[in-house]
Homo-oligomer: A and B are copies of this chain.
Amino acid sequence: METGKLQHPDSGDERRERKRRQILAVAREIFLRDGYAGASMSEISACVGGSKGTLYAYFASKSELFRAVLEDSLTRHEAEVSGTIAGGGAPGEVLRAFSERFLEVLLRPENLALIRLVYAEAGRFPEVGQAFYDSGPANAEQHLADYIRGAVEQGYLRADTDPLLAARQMILLSQGWIHNRRLWNVTPAPSEAEIRENAHAAVRTFLAAFGA
């Protein structure tokens, strides 16, 4: 009743939602490309096709649009990385899979741009950094620590392992030097082989420190 009939492919709410997503997609692209201060509402509305009045009918201000773009972008890769450790099992292969996937996700151009943007704005807008941390690194950290705790209990890892510390070190090693060099834009995108190599090295060091 309040949402209209399903027969029609273009009910009001659906239409509005579609437009909203379209605006978010365009705005996301421009924010990631130019940064918060560098992006322009006029350009966004021009790129999205409609008028600026319409844009302001969907989002009350630039900062609110920015917030919505971030919120939308952050909920994308929640499960993708954590999925690699959901099953449990022996650390060697699980951690290798995690490390590879983790770095591969971090290195996608869209995510590099997002990470740059968050770093840039976190100083002035603490809630940006907080939102990013909560919906990304905090999850990875927690899930990995849980897995490690289980692996310790099963005797795969040393009994005196601090799961949280081990998880954080594993994440740092997985992220690797490549990630920094990509953020600094001083090296082209690495091959899959390099990513695998990094994961291999990370796991080797991790297991040397925490393996049973």
The proximity string for A residues 89-133 relative to B, scoring 1 for CB distances below 8 Å and 0 otherwise, is 000000000000000000000001101111110111010011011
Residue of B nearest to A165 (CB): B201
Contact, CB under 8 Å: B129 / A169: no
Given contacts A185-B126, A205-B205, contact A180 B116 (CB under 8 A): no
Could you say which of A16-24, A55-63, A78-86, A171-179 contacts chain B?
Answer: A171-179
- Interface hub of A133, A185, A205, A210 (most chain B Cβ within 10 A): A185
Chain B nearest CB from A82 CB (Å) reads: 18
Contact of A184 among B112, B132, B205, B209 (CB under 8 A): B132
Chain B nearest CB from A23 CB (Å) reads: 22
Docked pose: A38 CA to B205 CA in angstroms? 42
Within 8 Å of chain B (Cβ to Cβ): is A181? yes
Chain B nearest CB from A202 CB (Å) reads: 8
Contact, CB under 8 Å: B35 / A120: yes
Within 8 Å of chain B (Cβ to Cβ): is A196? no
- Residues of B near A34 (CB, < 8 A) are 37, 124
